[in-house]
Amino acid sequence: MQPRRRSEQDTEDAVAEMARALAGLSQTDMLRLKAIARLRAHGLPSDASWSDLLNEAIARALDGTRQCPEGIGVVAFLAGIMRRLASEHWRRLRREAGIFDLSGADDGADATDPAPDPERNLVILQALAALDQLFAGDLAASQILAGLAAGLSAKEIRETYGLSETDYDSTRKRMRRLLLRQGIAWRHP
């Protein structure tokens, strides 16, 4: 069974409904959206401000590019759009910088990264030591950090340390919150 495609009238109705929902947002809802936008924009280059994320999310909701599923609140819907926009921005930056190639294909370009210099190694070691100290009392967080430092994937970390998917995800959220409170941006996907 194929999913039902929205007709032009359905799309127009959804856009009109979204416009009414946005007009009805309370001041508290707007403050929440601004706070979410600030969190999502944290660490992004200066050409992508929090207001740009919020405005683009609203624009996509109003032009019908993104349509709110039934049962999802407007704030949660716009927060999801901002999350995707920030992720797209990071992916584009990584792709432009040549940090990784998702296809795994070798197109003949020299994409090798030179070996890190001693100064960079020192900074990395200091950062890892600070993270170890920050998460010293949290066994699961320490295990995840060790796995990340070893270059393991999420699945490999879970298998190596016997963590369930729920334990892994909740520990990552706990780590992210602590890092954000410390003013450190979380860059792991």
Mean pLDDT by 10 residues, the chain (189 residues): 55 75 83 84 74 86 78 83 84 65 44 55 69 81 79 86 92 86 64
Q: What is the pTM of this model?
A: 0.47
Q: Kindly state the greatest CA–CA separation across the chain.
A: 62
End-to-end, the C-alpha distance of the chain in Å comes to: 33
Task: Check if the beta carbon of residue 89 is closer than 8 Å to that of residue 44.
Answer: yes
Q: What's 9-73 look like in SS3?
A: HHHHHHHHHHHHHHHCCCHHHHHHHHHHHHHHHCCCCCCCCHHHHHHHHHHHHHCCCCCCCCCCC
d(CA 113, CA 32): 41
